[in-house]
Structure 1
Amino acid sequence: MSDLPPKPASRPDKVSLLKYARLFRQDILSAQPARLYRAWMAEFRTPFFRSYLLNQPELVKTVLKDRPDDFPKSSRISEGLRPLLGNSVFLTNGAVWKQQRRIIDPAFEGGRLRDTFPAMWQASEAMVARLGHRVGETVEIEEETSHAAADVIFRTLFSIPIEHEVAGKVFSEFRDYQRTQPILNVGAFLPLPRWVPRFHKRRTRQAAASIRGLIAQLTEARMAEIMAGTAPDDLATKIMTTRDPETGETFSTSDMVDQVAIFFLAGHETSASALAWTLYLVARYPEWQDRIAEEAQALEGCDFSVMGKLRISRDVFREALRLYPPVPMMVRQNSCPEQFRERDIRPGSQMVLSPWHLHRHERLWDNPDGFDPDRFATENGKTCLREAYMPFSSGPRVCTGAGFAMVEGPLILSMLLKHYRVEAVGPAPVPVAYLTVRSKDGIFLRLTKR
């Protein structure tokens, strides 16, 4: 196809604060004006605070890489996610965050990716087998990629498949949660004391409490196995037994509930979103799925070295992450007076870093709205990859699981396309932001055997 992949319609440049808040709660993407795809910086004012969208690469670098301690995570972003994530590494700042990363990071370093590869392989094989029963049918592919990504998380974290009773319950509850919780809660727009309710939907609160209760069962059982010396050598055991090299402390069981919640959100929800959009894109551009299928003939056994041969799959997945970054916006808060682009910025303002806009910026990328996995071999693509590409954030707070995701996504994509062709069915999906970028009404594909 020569037409462009879909993106949401933009709102008019000027709307009232109340209308903006309503649009924002419904969908953060379509609430934004089209001019943000051209702007280096944009200011948004409310009666209580100011926000600045930063698209200029030098400004993004300042906030995320050069001076991250001066721009901590915004407390406003936690308003919507606190019921599920508690005090997880995704929400904390300062000394607490640094201690959490010192404990978590070793589990994802070096050879650990190689150690988790068999679990990813098994989850990929399981997805191929499940879809084998649906050949010729119309499949809502987000449901299938969610199932597969959750299976990867449970196999790599707790050495259990998605069919495990507790794992299955977590997955089911999370599907309800992610469709009811926007990225930012309405409370994020207001200067509310901590004791004032945050306007969470009752269904959202109940789902979060249920998920955390189920995760607590898994972590308590794992702690008992660790104490008994019978725990498997997986990510949960590694994280729960790693001591902070500075304090000697380990995570408690309650600490681990917070961390597992974000591992599930970051490792399952984001991977499911990215893989679903990738499959949709190759369904629209079938020449790319044929190239991936040919390359995937190298998948003959569970051997980590095969990932070096999946270059086309990697670039296709990378391009899908550009067009549909699972986390569309990140928010930081400046702790010092700043001056960006000759504009004075007061402490406490919100710095919005938007992969959604940065990845499609008209002044940075060639053919910004087009699907072109070959772009990363061009000079423009290489430059933008360094300066204007951040699906996993950037700097010290880059996602711990970025390397994990870049193995999981291309592997599952290659294994599926080795066995099946995919064809887009029905109207084009409209991307909206729930917890991640998903399709408003699903992504429907038809599978046929190769």
Structure 2
Amino acid sequence: MTQVLPPKPPARPDKVSLWRYVKLFRQDILSAQPQRLYRAWMAAFKTPFFRSYMINQPDLVEEVLKRRPDDFPKSGRISEGLRPLLGNSVFLTNGETWKRQRRIIDPSFEGGRLRETWPAMVDAAEACVARLYARVETGQGTPIEIEEETSHAAADVIFRTLFSIPIEHEIAREVFTRFRDYQRSQPILNIAAFIPLPRWMPRLFRKDTRQAAADIRGLITQLTTERMDAISAGTAPDDLATKIMTTTDPQTGDKFSTEEMVDQVAIFFLAGHETSASALAWTLYLMALYPDWQKQIAEEASDLDSPEFSALSRLRVSRDVFRESLRLYPPVPMMVRQNTCPEHFRDRDIAPGAQVVISPWHLHRHERLWDNPDGFDPTRWNTENGRQCMRNAWIPFSAGSRVCTGAGFAMAEGPLLLSMILKNFRITAVQGKDPVPVAHLTVRSAEGIWLRLEKR
């Protein structure tokens, strides 16, 4: 019997005009790409304004992300659309500014910090289950748009671990609401991503995009200011916000100012909430598509009443399933770098200033690297091919010095939430509502992911 393949967006024709490509790209990155990229080691894209090169060859990816990251800083083009919300956050900076920010941020995510934040994650998972119970009891079999629920749960995790407040807190709830407005109004790229504009020229953003970003930053500023006052008074809780705000740069002795902290909290919320919500929603859909795996996770999670941190190491099936979901649906589908030196990749001369694109979406499904690249197979991680690809072709959190600071948190949060949900609910897909992956801020479904839940 042929296995049903997980949904994949259609590829565009191999050759289209520049303006057709720009239009497709602004609508959805994934379906704007040709099929050949799933086999190519490298591909070039030329416009009147810049040159772009996608690299899928593992040793070239390693060269850019691991061996010489300073020679390939983040491209400023892609950041243009995110500036209103993220300011000068660690996600957008390069060079010494970025290094200073990471020196202050990284200690808060090292050592035993994951163990310390685990109770907050468990509380968020239990709150998510309670919300789902309420919806199932009142909905009487009505389908649930699960991305809405996973967004709520991921935002709850962020606020509990960062500021020790649940999503029901007035400010947290308002940040979450306004962020949804921002997400819906902001295309992943604005025109400055395609046409180089001088720094003095004003960037054009939709009015509702600017307003949503300003509202979010205002609310975060309020939280940050209150926390700085509590730190000064000696009454601040020992959470991630306190840890980051009291950490000094070992080289300069400086701490983050209020404005700098607002920038960082904005990216923590964007990266930690948006990406986790995407990953969990797709994983739950895959469990509806493959009920045998759903059953295995439910059985594995049967003793998760109020899980201690040691339980995380026992969630092996959940971890492998979540890892496979991240392979098929990496939340961040593309990463864009800019070379600062003349390069020669695969017989191509690449002039300084060109864009070098690394696409987890294509790398994770590359037909010359992976066995059964489009299939769902969590057992692959115990095969030689799976282990090899995990080392050099699985980068949902990027790699090298710019690897996501919260990668360890995500790999704890995802399996925990997945296990807690499947322990309590049986999930089935809704006929006629197969999700179509599209990429905006992250990989989401064009019309949402609709599932039916029933109590176990």
**2-side partners of 1:386 and 1:188: how far apart?**
31
CA contact (8 A) 2:339 2:354 kept: yes
Q: 1:358 corresponds to which letter in structure 2?
A: L
CA offset at residue 196 of structure 1? Answer: 2.1
Alignment correspondent of 1:24 = 25
**1-side partners of 2:75 and 2:399: how far apart?**
16
**2-side partners of 1:156 and 1:219: how far apart?**
14
Output the aligned Cα RMSD. 0.9
CA offset at residue 277 of structure 1? Answer: 0.2
Where structure 1 has 5 or more consecutive residues not aligned to the other structure, the ranges are none
CA offset at residue 205 of structure 1? Answer: 1.3
**2-side partners of 1:29 and 1:205: how far apart?**
26
**2-side partners of 1:106 and 1:214: how far apart?**
26
Alignment correspondent of 1:132 = 133
Pairs within 5 Å for 1:35-434: 35-135=36-136, 136-425=141-430, 426-434=432-440
**1-side partners of 2:408 and 2:187: how far apart?**
27
**2-side partners of 1:162 and 1:345: how far apart?**
47
CA contact (8 A) 1:134 1:447 kept: no
Among all aligned residue pairs of Structure 1 and Structure 2, give the percentage whose two residues are the same amino acid: 75
Alignment correspondent of 2:448 = 442
**1-side partners of 2:413 and 2:36: how far apart?**
35
User: Tell me, what secondary structure is at the counterpart of 2:49?
Assistant: coil
**2-side partners of 1:423 and 1:199: how far apart?**
43
User: Tell me, what secondary structure is at the counterpart of 1:133?
Assistant: helix
CA offset at residue 178 of structure 1? Answer: 1.3
**1-side partners of 2:24 and 2:63: how far apart?**
30
Deviations 1:259-309 (A, max 9, x none): 000000000000000000000000000000100000002313231000000
**1-side partners of 2:323 and 2:308: how far apart?**
22
Deviations 1:202-233 (A, max 9, x none): 21111111111111010011001001110000
**2-side partners of 1:407 and 1:158: how far apart?**
19
**1-side partners of 2:337 and 2:239: how far apart?**
33
User: Tell me, what secondary structure is at the counterpart of 2:300?
Assistant: helix
**2-side partners of 1:163 and 1:46: how far apart?**
48
User: Tell me, what secondary structure is at the counterpart of 2:43?
Assistant: strand
User: Tell me, what secondary structure is at the counterpart of 1:351?
Assistant: strand
Deviations 1:358-397 (A, max 9, x none): 0000110011000111111011100000010000000000
**2-side partners of 1:357 and 1:16: how far apart?**
22
CA offset at residue 183 of structure 1? Answer: 2.5
**1-side partners of 2:185 and 2:381: how far apart?**
36
**2-side partners of 1:356 and 1:204: how far apart?**
27
CA offset at residue 201 of structure 1? Answer: 1.8
Q: 2:421 corresponds to which letter in structure 1?
A: L
Deviations 1:80-104 (A, max 9, x none): 1111100000000011100000000
CA contact (8 A) 2:122 2:306 kept: no
User: Tell me, what secondary structure is at the counterpart of 1:99?
Assistant: helix
CA offset at residue 187 of structure 1? Answer: 1.0
Alignment correspondent of 2:15 = 14
CA offset at residue 314 of structure 1? Answer: 0.3
**1-side partners of 2:184 and 2:3: how far apart?**
32
CA contact (8 A) 2:37 2:43 kept: yes
CA contact (8 A) 1:430 1:439 kept: yes
**1-side partners of 2:360 and 2:352: how far apart?**
23
Q: 2:273 corresponds to which letter in structure 1?
A: H
Q: Which moved more, 1:301-310 or 1:233-242?
A: 301-310
CA offset at residue 19 of structure 1? Answer: 0.8
CA contact (8 A) 2:188 2:440 kept: yes
CA offset at residue 427 of structure 1? Answer: 1.9
CA offset at residue 198 of structure 1? Answer: 2.7
User: Tell me, what secondary structure is at the counterpart of 2:375?
Assistant: coil
**1-side partners of 2:76 and 2:428: how far apart?**
43
CA offset at residue 148 of structure 1? Answer: 0.2
Where structure 2 has 5 or more consecutive residues not aligned to the other structure, the ranges are none
Q: 1:96 corresponds to which letter in structure 2?
A: T
* TM-score for the superposition, normalised by structure 2: 0.98
Q: Which moved more, 1:234-243 or 1:191-200?
A: 191-200
Deviations 1:57-98 (A, max 9, x none): 010000000000100011111111111100000000011100
**1-side partners of 2:186 and 2:202: how far apart?**
15
* TM-score for the superposition, normalised by structure 1: 0.99
